[in-house]
């Protein structure tokens, strides 16, 4: 079964609407983006995440790292964690020397057979 990993480390089991494979639209919806990137994870897993996270206007680089900026009910800026440490650690075994690459935002982790 596939899982969705949030930047905060929460893991939620998810399944394709058709019961077999995720459509591109489903990936966009789960990840919250309009262009996905695929990477091999360990144990034959496929990691699917936001290809263009640095191009988003609502993502800022704070002293604590990348954050999603929004406003609270009083109009104050609030920052939510955006760097996905859990998914980034899953990606690095397949990245070799490119350990500077990170995953930000939600990450869909599934078996290759679940991707349409």
Encode pLDDT of 56-74 as tens digits: 667 777 777 777 788 889 9
The answer on pLDDT for 116 being more than 80 is: no
Which letter does DSSP use for residue 42 in this model?
G
Burial class (CB in 10 A: 0-12, 13-18, 19+), 6: middle
Q: pLDDT grade, residue 87 (50/70/90)?
A: confident
pTM for this predicted structure: 0.77
27 pLDDT above the threshold of 60: yes
Lowest mean pLDDT of 2-11, 93-102, 103-112, name the range: 93-102
pLDDT for 37-48, tens place per residue?
998 877 778 999
Residue 66 burial class via C-beta count within 10 angstroms: exposed 0-12, middle 13-18, buried 19 and up: buried
Query: In this predicted structure, what is the pLDDT of residue 21?
Result: 95
Q: How far apart, in whole angstroms, are the C-alpha atoms of residue 60 and residue 67?
A: 5
* pLDDT score of 105 more than 90: no
How does the average pLDDT of the chain come out, rounded?
Answer: 84
| Number of domains present in the structure of the chain | 1
Number of Cβ within 10 Å of residue 104's Cβ equals 23
Beta carbons of 41 and 47 less than 8 angstroms apart: yes
For residue 3, is pLDDT > 70? Answer: yes
Range of 43's domain? 2-114
């Amino acid at each position: 079964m596939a899982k969705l990993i949030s930047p905060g480390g929460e893991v939620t089991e998810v399944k394709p609407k058709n019961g077999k494979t995720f459509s591109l639209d489903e990936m966009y919806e789960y990840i919250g983006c309009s262009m996905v990137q695929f990477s091999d994870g360990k144990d034959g897993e496929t990691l699917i995440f936001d290809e263009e996270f640095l191009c988003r206007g609502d993502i800022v680089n704070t002293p604590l790292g990348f954050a999603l900026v929004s406003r609270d009910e009083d109009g104050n800026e609030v920052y939510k964690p955006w760097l996905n440490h859990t998914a980034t650690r899953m990606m690095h075994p397949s990245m070799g020397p490119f350990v500077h690459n990170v995953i930000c935002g939600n990450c869909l982790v599934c078996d290759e057979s679940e991707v349409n």
